[in-house]
Amino acid sequence: MNVQPPLHLTRPWLTGGERERMSAGIGNWEGFNASPFTYHDILSVAREWESQLAGVERPWLCWNVDAEWSLLQQRMVLEVGWTPVVGFDPRVGPPPLLPGAVLIDFNRHFGFGTMYPHFPLDFAFAWCERLAFWHADLLMPIEQMQAYARRFETLEDGAMITVEPRPSMRQRLQQPHTLRYWELLGCVTRGASRSNFDLGCGWWLCFYLHPNCPGDEERKRRTTMYWDCGVGIRYWHKALGGKLMAIPEAEVDEGHYTRMRRKNYIAASVDDWRRDLSKELSANFKLSDICSGFGLKPLYEEALKYRSTP
């Protein structure tokens, strides 16, 4: 595996503590705005990401937090005719790659303490025509994934697809401002990504701090909304007329191996900007058993042949 050595932009941190330095890379405007960087730096670096995808027509973002899970996801993406574009949490490092996968170190020029897929996802318009994406903890039968891949491939420019979580009774009746979409699974086109950026929306946390928010009155309106990721995407869709097709959470919930609603889940890290999923995924879920249940065992066994690849 050819991993380029780190090359950080020459922007020293002159202020800010651990929280700012860690949260700047997870896709959080509050943390990023406190960093030495601006979105102009991301747009500049995105030209490098784009060059690494030369000739790739159907990129699918996979995020490594656990090597075995990543290998399986890469194999599944290849099986449905897309190209795995593999990023990684810098606390974990890059996984082994399957033939045909593309590794991109999205943190190479920034050197943040951690990075989530939200970081490059919000700037998809700057480096690809369309980008499919999913959580590192999501699996499903390959037939179901093939159906999503077909939808993603025919998605018209200016539109996007993503998951709409089922709201709780409290959210529906008392906390509608907390409603949001999830980047659990989906696809975004260049036009939809650019529209979100231009209108100051997108996936990042604290979207009301987006530099492109159009004016003080609009920012005041947005500050009444929830801080979490996906609120900006929902606002773009519901309030600003963005074109979005929602996947009901129920369609993918069975294969979402998350701590949510699991009483016996063993949490090895706090559930905030310090969360380290690499310490929890394999500790809570046995991948071989999951693969047997979803009919993924042949793909899993094939993927594991590359586990020891340097």
- Could you report the per-residue pLDDT of 250-261, keeping only the tens digit for each? 999 999 998 666
Q: Is the pLDDT of residue 125 over 60?
A: yes
pLDDT given at position 247:
98
% of the chain exceeding 70 in pLDDT = 92
pLDDT given at position 86:
98
For residue 198, report the phi and psi dihedrals to the nearest 5 degrees.
Answer: -65, -30
Per-residue confidence band for 142, with pLDDT thresholds at 50, 70 and 90: very high
Distance, C-alpha 38 to centroid of its chain:
20
Q: Is the pLDDT of residue 4 over 60?
A: no
CA separation for the pair 109, 8 (Å, rounded): 4
Task: Report, as an integer, the average pLDDT of 290-306.
Answer: 96
Per-residue confidence band for 249, with pLDDT thresholds at 50, 70 and 90: very high
pLDDT in tens, 195-207: 999 999 999 999 9
Name which residue leads in pLDDT, 1 or 61.
61
What is the average pLDDT score of the chain?
91
Per-residue confidence band for 270, with pLDDT thresholds at 50, 70 and 90: low
pLDDT given at position 208:
97
pLDDT in tens, 5-25: 555 566 888 777 788 788 899
Which range has the worst mean pLDDT, 5-14, 178-187, 223-232? 5-14
Q: Is the pLDDT of residue 310 over 50?
A: no
Per-residue confidence band for 148, with pLDDT thresholds at 50, 70 and 90: very high
Q: Is the pLDDT of residue 167 over 70?
A: yes
Pairing of strands 182-189, 159-164: antiparallel
| pTM of the predicted structure, to 2 decimals | 0.92
Name which residue leads in pLDDT, 109 or 8.
109
pLDDT given at position 268:
65
Task: Report, as an integer, the average pLDDT of 23-30.
Answer: 93
pLDDT given at position 116:
96
Which range has the worst mean pLDDT, 149-163, 234-248, 271-285? 271-285
pLDDT given at position 230:
95
Task: Report, as an integer, the average pLDDT of 153-180.
Answer: 88
pLDDT given at position 107:
96
pLDDT given at position 275:
72
